[in-house]
Structure 1
Amino acid sequence: MPGVSARGLSYEERRQLAVNLTRVLALYRSILDAYIIEFFTDNLWGTLPCSWQEALDGLSPPQLATLLLGMPREGEVVRYRSVWPLTLLALKSTAYALAFTRTPGFQSPSEFLENPSQSSRLTAPFRKHVRPKKQHEIRRLGELVKKLSDLTGCTQIVDVGSGQGHLSRFMSLGLGLMVKSIEGDQRLVERAQRLDQELLQALEKEEKRNAQVVQTGPRHSPHHVVRWVDPTALCEELLLPLENSPQGGARLLLTGLHACGDLSVALLRHFSCCPEVVALASVGCCYMKLSDPGGYPLSQWVAGLPGYELPYRLREGACHALEEYAERLQKAGPGLRTHCYRAALETVIRCAQPTLRRPGVQGIPRVHELKIEEYVRRGLQRVGLDPQLPLNLAALRAHQAQENRVVTFFSLALLLAPLVETLILLDRLLYLQEQGFHAELLPIFSPELSPRNLVLVATKRPLGQAFSVLETEDS
């Protein structure tokens, strides 16, 4: 999907983009606010302009991926079967024009061509226990952090929300950085420490087997700390140096790989308030978990705009994987019917118990293989209702016949969702710039592998032309 580069925008252009985003999001709020499981109960199709309904009705899933989401198959010629209304074309063009691009600026062969589960860019010890998505993420973010650390003279990396420590291990044992990792869950920290020892042993065995592998100095495992970082207060542990620097004081770089909700905001606040922190490389996620107020907006500029509010539903939608869904549309598999089935179930739930609205339904395995009435009965049982309730099979069949409309409405919401993410991340950029810091957003992961792929890089001194090395892919 096309988009605009955050790095190519001046401060004034970023402020104007925030104005445009709030206006557009207010205009299409009804689509973004809608829950797809209420497609039938709230007649969501009927809320669209009639001209849109005529243009979109009957489009196949691959046509939606190509014509609406702008993600055609390689070499596919884009052809419209009819003339679309200008308002729909305007929505599509606006969504493309205002969202930050998630396409990385580098071009390199896929690291998973030889084996879909093993990155060719990581050695075997660093791939063990790590899924392909995470292999890609720790390598790309780790390499960026190493470059940023060198550019800013950092003496210590602090990995916040480190989980099982995959990123910390790669940065310390793979790239030679001094790393403190902070995680609030003691069980994850204990597992991280076990994995550290396992990796050290594997590296030592590799050295003994391969005489060409030369270890230039002592290895430093990550220093793991069990600590909950309060988003509203400074964490002293986060700022403590691991060892005294010969220059007389630590220079810290904070990083977080998909720091959830307010944790990514806490990183920004520590960077802003603490002189020891000279650089930041943060990849956020789980925007729906941001505190309101507190987590958004952060900047004075966005807080002063009419219509800046982003309720829970909008922030939740911003976490969807646009590229992954477009691929599903192109394949047109039976798994696309899940939203339709769940929306049909919602009609039955409300008939049986009108006060029960949008209950969570535990996963029903192999939905695409079930008849709609079988799915509904299993769903009723999962929400505590009688699965043997009499069902209106004719109504369920009529709902099932509208499967493509459900997919189409969901695709429309997905087209707009990147605008919400763009406004959240733009607010963070402006928050840092309002305080005189230097901040940029870079897409560093393949969006097909990792949808939340924009890293917020901030420094307290300008990097000038040197900044461009952060965007390059290591050989």
Structure 2
Amino acid sequence: MFQSLDSIKKHEVENYIEKSFSVIRTYDWLLDLYVLDFFVDNHWNKLPLSWRESFNDIDPSTLGHILSGKPANIILPLSFLALKRTVDLLSIPRQQKTNMNITNECGYVGNNPKLKKIFLKHVKLKKRHEIGLMANIVKNVSDKTKCVGVLDFGSGLGHLVRLLAYKYNLHTAGIECQFQLTEEARNLDHELEYTIRKHISEENMKKLLKPTHINVTLKNHQQLSLIELPETLSSYGLVGLHPCGDLGPLLLKHFASCDKVKFICLVGCCFMKLTDHGYPLSQYAKSLNSHLSYPSREIACHAIEVYCDRLRKGDYKDLKIHAYRAALERILVDIDPKLKHAPVRSIKHSDTMTFERYCSLAMERLSIPLPTDPDVWSRGQEDVQLWRRVVIVYSLRLALAPLVETVILLDRLLFVLEQGFSCEILPVFDPKISPRNHIMIAKRQ
């Protein structure tokens, strides 16, 4: 079982990866199930008989307790209990680490009580949680590496670089591919400075370090070395707060290959968008049967803690929408097999929405007339009545999600170790607020 990932050895990581893939390969059949194919492919009958017998009449709230590791008065198949225990032992812990060093060193803005909440404006609650903790970690790592420059990739509206620059006195640049976001980030800088000027002297205003915002689309890690940076960023640390898909691996490759990069702080996201360029990264994982399907990578991005809380509290009635979509899928495939996985998109629903109303809205978007055969609607209603089975199968898939995320993160960790650098992984965010809550920190000695 993982105790710490700040001093783990290369061979230990390899061992965890090998054991994890042994489990994943055994349960690929479960991970690879699409929820909307539940009735088309008869997912329920894909479960082992003992699982079907145990879970058939289970209340979803009880299942929520089981998946959360809490006791439940129900006899479960030994194969399921063994799987649950194995996943718990092999997965990287997700409970937020609270004993991290928090820096108190701030500049002219950070120490001014009248500007205490200035960095919260225009920032949503989830983002406030993330950038506050991320900025502290980046500041601490920059102090340890004596590196005062930071590049934030996928910087969006620049909330993180704004905090690092104005509060923590770091030379920063935000790299963003969307021009509109870059322009808005600059506008927010001006707005911030307008407020700051009311509370500090003009002399101190001139001493403030202002972030640079750069608009560029990255395609490979070699391109990073060609970006024109200010002289103050002759060496720098890389920061990625939930970069999408291959961007995270691209940053790791740049860290490993460029001497100018002194450290990297990376929080991954959107694993389902990874390509062969982003996974696997390590030579060891490449030597194994390390393939992860799109459905398995997609389920690894879901908020298991929030989902289990909802199940335990009985807040799962709206999960019937998954059964609605699965029942609709069977209707669509019967109409025309080419309609399989048609992009219906999200339909706003409530507990009182009928299945017929749901189908009407969906087929209107697809420009398809509603079926008139009463047998179609009769079968659809029978399918919807089995919504608990849909929730159960989805929940069982979600129980494996932490292990899939673990092998992706360990592959990245091992890649860094293979290059000869130190590396650690910490669960820095509250997983109920920010489900992708692990930060990877690597430093060039």
Q: Same fold (TM over 0.5)?
A: yes
**One-letter code aligned to 2:351:** H
**Is 1:298–2:281 an aligned residue pair?**
yes
Q: Which residue pairs with 1:322 in the alignment?
A: 304
- 2:6 is matched by which residue type in structure 1? R
> Which residue pairs with 2:349 in the alignment?
366
Instruction: List gaps (5 residues or longer) in structure 1.
Output: 73-77, 109-121, 209-213, 462-475
Structure 2 unmatched ranges of 5 or more: 101-114
In structure 2, the partner of 1:22 is 21
Following superposition of structure 1 onto structure 2, how do residues 227-266 of structure 1 map, counting pairs within 5 Å?
Answer: 227-238=216-227, 240-243=228-231, 250-266=234-250
Distance (whole Å) between structure 2 residues aligned to residue 244 and residue 377 of structure 1: 59
**Are the aligned partners of 1:142 and 1:170 in contact in 2 as well (CA < 8 Å)?**
yes
CA 156–404 in structure 1, closer or farther in 2 if over 3 Å, else same? same
Q: How many residues align?
A: 429
Q: CA offsets per residue over residues 17-51 of structure 1, 9 Å max, x none?
A: 00011111100000100101111111101000111
User: What does residue range 52-451 of structure 1 map to in structure 2 within 5 Å?
Assistant: 52-70=51-69, 72=70, 78-81=71-74, 83-106=75-98, 123-207=116-200, 218-238=207-227, 240-243=228-231, 250-291=234-275, 293-305=276-288, 307-333=289-315, 334-387=317-370, 389-391=372-374, 392-451=376-435
Q: Deviation per CA, 1:235-275: give whole Å up to 9, x if none.
A: 2344x552358xxxx33100011011111111101101110
* Identity level (%): 37
Question: What's 1:32 paired with?
Answer: 31
Matched AA of 1:299:
S
Deviation at 1:216, TM superposition (A): 8.9
Contact 2:67-2:308 within 8 A present in 1 as well: no
Distance in 1, Cα, partners of 2:41 & 2:328: 13
Q: What is the TM-score normalised by the length of structure 2?
A: 0.91
Q: Corresponding residue for 2:106?
A: none
Relative to structure 1, the CA distance from residue 58 to residue 8 in structure 2 (aligned partners, 3 Å threshold; closer, same or farther) is farther
Q: Is the CA contact (8 Å cut-off) linking 1:287 and 1:315 kept in structure 2?
A: yes
- Counterpart amino acid of 2:129? H
The one-letter code sitting in structure 1 at the alignment partner of 2:216 is R
- The structure-2 alpha-carbon separation of the partners of 1:270 and 1:184, relative to structure 1 and needing over 3 Å to count, comes to same
The answer on whether the counterparts of 2:262 and 2:444 sit within 8 Å (CA) in structure 1 is: yes
CA deviations 1:338-374 (Å, max 9, x no partner) are 1111111101111111222111212211243301121
Q: CA RMSD, aligned part only?
A: 2.1
| Residue identity opposite 1:43 in structure 2 | N
1-structure distance, mates of 2:77, 2:141: 47
Deviations 1:116-136 (A, max 9, x none): xxxxxx932211111000000
Distance 1:65 1:458 in 2: 36
Q: Is the 8 A contact 1:103 1:446 kept in 2?
A: yes
Q: Aligned partners of 1:354 and 1:64: how far apart in 2? A: 34
Q: Write out per-residue CA displacement over residues 394-437 of structure 1, whole angstroms, 9 at most, x where no aligned residue.
A: 32222122111111100011110111111111111111111101
Other structure's SS at 1:235 match:
helix
Q: Is the 8 A contact 2:7 2:424 kept in 1?
A: no
The one-letter code matched in structure 1 to 2:295 is R
